[in-house]
Structure 1
Amino acid sequence: MTGPRAVRAWRLAADSPTTACVGAARTAVAAAATSWGVGGEGLDDLLCVVSELVANAVRHAPGPLSARVRFAPDGTRVLIEVSDTGSSLPRLVAGASELFAESGRGMLMVAALAERWGARPDDGGKTVWCELLLPAAPAVPGPGRTVRAARAAGVGRP
């Protein structure tokens, strides 16, 4: 899928409780992803990562935040970006995976699910992003599935 429908962006109300903000983001991303043909494990991973990145933004940064999801034209991956007004960049916390750690496990989960992730300072705050690889889609014709179906069938490979 290409064009503007392959990118969706939302402004989220940071003054809402974390659960409301995360829920709104999950609902919006789920609708976009299913319209692109993403389902199953790929959708589960996508919603898990979006939930964590939005919850972190609400918890650690005052002010407005936004989320953006971009579906790769070849259907193999999706880029998630969450921007907020905070200046501190996330990092993996040593010891966060310990049984009784009270925080720090979220970015470990993002790092485990994502092919790659990072954060960059930008005007007015930062953007935390990650890229997920999507499982191969079933060979069903339709928007966003034709390239994946052809690739899975070996079309265009030597």
Structure 2
Amino acid sequence: MPEQSTRRQYPTRPESVAQVRTQVRELLASRGIEPHGNESAENAVLVASELAGNAVCHASSSGSYSVTLELHGGILAISVRDTEIETPPQWPTLGDAGATTGRGMFLVDALARDWGCAHKGEGKVVWAELLIDRERP
């Protein structure tokens, strides 16, 4: 059982990504983990933002996506479920140096201790796990 968890539904609109960042900060703060100045907590906010941004970018604009956060000791699990069937690349790359998009999963891969994707019903869940320092470094 997670010591703390939260699940929220969001519309597939760009402004919802900021709400996801707030969701992560609120969960961490509820456990006494101040995200500002804590590199691992800031990384969790960034990873959640990237996963939510992908849901907004690739899922149906008339739909929604959900974000589930589960804190198990020093591990934060972030799951984003959307209605898009296409999965992210298993081995993300930096892509074209001139591109303005396409680096999100590279960041997730670099910052998360593990991540993956699974088909669920008429969509998918992309998840990541990060180690969270409870102390400010």
Q: CA RMSD in A?
A: 1.8
Tell me what 2:45 maps to. 47
1:64 partner letter: S
Q: Secondary structure at the match of 2:130?
A: strand
Write the deviation string for residues 4-52 of structure 1: whole angstroms up to 9, x where unpaired: x6111000011x3x1x110111112211111112231122011100110
- Stretches (4+) displaced over 2 A: 92-95, 135-138
1:60 and 1:135 map into 2 onto residues whose CA distance is 32
1:65 aligns with 2:60: no
1:28 and 1:76 map into 2 onto residues whose CA distance is 18
TM-score, structure 1 length as denominator? 0.75
Question: Which of the pair is proportionally richer in strand?
Answer: 2
1:12 aligns with 2:10: yes
Identity across the alignment (%)? 32
1:95 and 1:49 map into 2 onto residues whose CA distance is 16
Q: Which has the higher contact order (CA 8 A, sep 6+)?
A: 2
Tell me what 2:107 maps to. 109
Q: How many residues align?
A: 130
2:67 partner letter: A
Find the structure with the greater CA-based Rg.
Answer: 1
On the 8 A contact 2:94/2:106 being kept in 1, the answer is no
Unaligned 5+ residue runs, structure 1? 139-158
Question: Which of the pair is proportionally richer in helix?
Answer: 1
Tell me what 1:38 maps to. 33
The one of 20, 29, 44 equivalent to 1:25 is 20
